[in-house]
Amino acid sequence: MKRILSGIKPSGDLNIGGYSGALQQYVAMQHEYENFFFVPDLHAVTVPQDPLELYHRSKEIAAFYVAAGVDPAKSAIFLQSQVSAHAELGWLMETQVHFGELSRMTQFKDKSDGKDAVSSALFTYPALMAADILLYQATHVPVGEDQKQHVELTRDLATRFNNRFGETFTVPEPIIQDLGCRIMSLDDPSKKMSKSNPNKNSYVLLLDEPDTIRKKLSRAVTDSEMSVRYDPENKPAVSNLLEIYSIFSEEPISVIEKRYEGQGYGGFKKDLAEAVISKLEPIQRNFREIIDSEELVRILKDGAERASAVANETLLKAKKAMGFLTF
């Protein structure tokens, strides 16, 4: 049986990077797997969060899953904090991970860089992420490139635990698509597209209005060559726009390159904006319908129940293996 576990943190407004590296993969892959798509709200509080914002953003991420096409009948959609096995196995995984391993995590280094007060949870975060995945015996974890190191560590921890305590966890495989696994900032193609960038024109949000999307994409940096050609090394900015175009129009890059052969960037950027807008429009419409509905609450309650059944079973198995009394 093939099983997926994945999620998007409710720590900021969702941008097209998260859509490209994660959400659109969930939608595309869901029919071939048994799926657990969760909102990692416990991960969001590893950095300071305004309670009201956390509340709304957690609901929003869940609503985006449904709005983009994740089928709640097929996939369990739930909030991490509503399945207490996550926190419990997270602690047990902290006992297995080494300080040195956590110190090597590039995301911790990036997020703690220059800050004088960093929570210890930000440091131990990958142990909780390993628990998220291992609780569901996930065989596959679709993520963007920046999460690869965390999934690799999860594999190491699963193997270590199984060797020490007996076969308990499935060792998961990351699924990182070739295109769109690392969407870069529109103002600087050397940086990942991220909502923490103070320049609002550097990202497109899933809830941006059409005119905002047109404006942001028309201002995206390119280069002086004036040819629409995919060459990530020498033309990182244009290649990034081509990846976005390909993800949103569902056309191969070669077809897009051909269409703009011998032309500059003006028409290409305009059409790119329309491709993004036409994909986001129905998602935004569905989002508005579901965000304040009883239906969303029902989906999340049902998802948490389905998730808990699987997670509690794995937790019990892990606790027994470690020697805890479980009567």
Minimum distance between the CB of residue 14 and ligand TYM, rounded to whole angstroms? 8
Is 235 annotated in the active site? no
Query: Would you say 72 or 180 has its CB closer to ligand TYM?
Result: 180
Minimum distance between the CB of residue 146 and ligand TYM, rounded to whole angstroms? 5
Bridge partners of 205?
Answer: 15
Is 216 annotated in the active site? no
Question: CA-CA distance, 163 to 155, in Å (whole number)?
Answer: 12
**What letter does residue 27 receive in the DSSP assignment?**
H
- Which stretches of the chain are assigned E, i.e. beta strand? 3-7, 34-39, 75-79, 140-142, 173-175
210, 193 contact by CB (below 8 A): no
Instruction: Report the b/e string of 244-255 with b at 16+ CB within 10 A.
Output: bbbbbbeeebee
Residue 75, both tokens: 């996939």
Interface contacts to ligand TYM, rule CB under 6 A: 5-9, 17-18, 20-22, 40, 43, 129, 132-133, 141, 143-144, 146-147, 150, 181-183, 192-193
Query: Would you say 130 or 296 has its CB closer to ligand TYM?
Result: 130
Q: Residue with CB nearest ligand TYM?
A: 21
Is 279 annotated in the active site? no
Q: Could you tell me which of 6, 165, 37, 172 has the C-alpha nearest to residue 92?
A: 165
Minimum distance between the CB of residue 203 and ligand TYM, rounded to whole angstroms? 8
Query: Would you say 192 or 216 has its CB closer to ligand TYM?
Result: 192
14, 206 contact by CB (below 8 A): yes
| Candidate list 192, 216, 269, 279, residue with the active-site label | 192
Q: Could you tell me which of 128, 226, 243 has the C-alpha nearest to residue 180?
A: 243
Q: Which helix (H) or strand (E) holds 132?
A: helix 120-134
Query: Would you say 260 or 308 has its CB closer to ligand TYM?
Result: 308
DSSP state letters, 78-107: EEGGG-THHHHHHHHHHTTS-HHHHHT-HH
Question: CA-CA distance, 217 to 186, in Å (whole number)?
Answer: 8
DSSP state letters, 173-200: EEE--SSSSSPBPSS-TTSB--TT-S-G
Query: Would you say 177 or 284 has its CB closer to ligand TYM?
Result: 177
Minimum distance between the CB of residue 154 and ligand TYM, rounded to whole angstroms? 8
The one-letter amino acid code at 294 reads E
Minimum distance between the CB of residue 258 and ligand TYM, rounded to whole angstroms? 25
Taking the chain, what is the end-to-end CA distance rounded to the nearest angstrom? Answer: 29
Minimum distance between the CB of residue 23 and ligand TYM, rounded to whole angstroms? 8
Minimum distance between the CB of residue 264 and ligand TYM, rounded to whole angstroms? 26
| Candidate list 2, 9, 59, 111, residue with the active-site label | 111
- Residue 138 DSSP SS3: coil
| Candidate list 2, 109, 191, 195, residue with the active-site label | 195
Q: Could you tell me which of 43, 41, 15, 67 has the C-alpha nearest to residue 180?
A: 15
Query: Would you say 7 or 72 has its CB closer to ligand TYM?
Result: 7
Burial class of residue 139, CB neighbours in 10 A (0-12, 13-18, 19+)? middle
Query: Would you say 247 or 260 has its CB closer to ligand TYM?
Result: 247
> Catalytic residue positions?
111, 192, 195
